[in-house]
Amino acid sequence: MRMIDKSFINKYQKEGFYYGIPVFSNSEIRSIRSEIETLEKKFKNGISKNKLEQYFRVNGHIVIPLLANLSKSPKILDYIELLLGSNILVWSVELFIKEPGSSKIVSWHQDITYWGMGETNNEVTAWIALSNVNIESGCMRFIPGSHNKKILIHEDTFDEDNLLSRGQEIKGINEKEAIYAPLKPGEMSLHHGKCLHASGMNNSNDRRIGLAIRYVTPDVRNKENGHDFAMLVRGFDDKGGWFNFAGPRSLFNKKDLCFYNYVLKYQSKVLMAGANKNDGMYKADK
């Protein structure tokens, strides 16, 4: 493992988030962004029945080698290991894209509310900026210490401008307590699954692109389904609670696309439980 300034650990544990960790150089970020934008051009008409956005927003690591490989990057994993220990799995990889001037937002929420993992401390999101992500372009903001709270009540809004799967929202947050977490291209933030966070519109002239990778340990259990799917990226998993998979064979490989649909159906039972509609990214008959 590289030498890492470990002072972030205490702050992360106290506040539930940490931001501004440099992980990728400008040239690495330019190349990652260009690969993503090449995919957008190539698959502008979608992949079979789905829009490309489906695979960007949900479980991209199952079908897009670029996203799976990024989630295995030692530059990220060395930090995750300091928080979660040496056995690490990837549960989900997602791109959060806001076009310039778009009205897309993310409402106040706690990530693990609908994930079926209970109130675990053994889940961390690494969020990497693939563009300049500042207050103007709609960076995340967090409520320090909120990861120590229970899971709060979320209301489904299904608002079209909300990037979350159910438009879920916690009402009554005191915005004055929020800390903005701007990131330069290539920088990473880390947040705990119960830390309250949100993000605003992109009022800048550039796209705002963030890559969210959800890491878990072998001990985390899906309490609803009993099991869930994850990709082992460091160490080993001898706990039997995750169906481990190896990652994509190739870009949008047919077998991986079938597996993608299987996982989506399986997860949608938990992630959309209790919702009065399911016609978005977890639509079960995809």
Ligand X SMILES: O=C(O)CCC(=O)C(=O)O
**Residues contributing to the site for ligand X (CB under 6 A):** 96, 106, 111, 125, 127, 140, 197, 199, 210, 212
Question: Residue 54 or residue 199: which is nearer to ligand X going by CB?
Answer: 199
Is residue 214 within a helix (H) or strand (E), and if so which, with residue range? strand 208-216
Collapsed DSSP state (helix, strand, coil) of residue 216 = strand
How far is it, in rounded angstroms, from Cα 92 to Cα 61? 7
Question: Residue 182 or residue 210: which is nearer to ligand X going by CB?
Answer: 210
Closest distance of CB 193 from ligand X, Å: 8
Closest distance of CB 95 from ligand X, Å: 9
Closest distance of CB 44 from ligand X, Å: 23
The helix/strand count (H/E) of the chain reads as 6, 11
- Beta pairing partners, 187: 22
Question: Residue 230 or residue 257: which is nearer to ligand X going by CB?
Answer: 230
Is residue 12 within a helix (H) or strand (E), and if so which, with residue range? helix 7-15
Closest distance of CB 97 from ligand X, Å: 9
Question: Residue 251 or residue 275: which is nearer to ligand X going by CB?
Answer: 275
How far is it, in rounded angstroms, from Cα 110 to Cα 66? 27
Q: Is residue 127 within 8 Å of residue 191, measured between CB atoms?
A: yes
Closest distance of CB 103 from ligand X, Å: 13
Collapsed DSSP state (helix, strand, coil) of residue 183 = strand
Question: Residue 213 or residue 257: which is nearer to ligand X going by CB?
Answer: 213
Question: Residue 116 or residue 210: which is nearer to ligand X going by CB?
Answer: 210
Collapsed DSSP state (helix, strand, coil) of residue 116 = coil
Nearest to 133 by CA among 73, 196, 55, 211: 211
Tokens linked to 121: 């401390």
User: At how many degrees (to 10) do helices 74-84 and 7-15 cross?
Assistant: 60
Question: Residue 198 or residue 257: which is nearer to ligand X going by CB?
Answer: 198
235 class by beta-carbon count within 10 Å (0-12 exposed, 13-18 middle, 19+ buried): middle
Residue 62 burial (CB count, 10 A) = 25
Single-letter code of the amino acid located at 211: L
Closest distance of CB 197 from ligand X, Å: 6
Closest distance of CB 40 from ligand X, Å: 17
Q: Is residue 110 within 8 Å of residue 166, measured between CB atoms?
A: no
Tokens linked to 180: 């903005």
Closest distance of CB 127 from ligand X, Å: 5
Question: Residue 202 or residue 222: which is nearer to ligand X going by CB?
Answer: 202
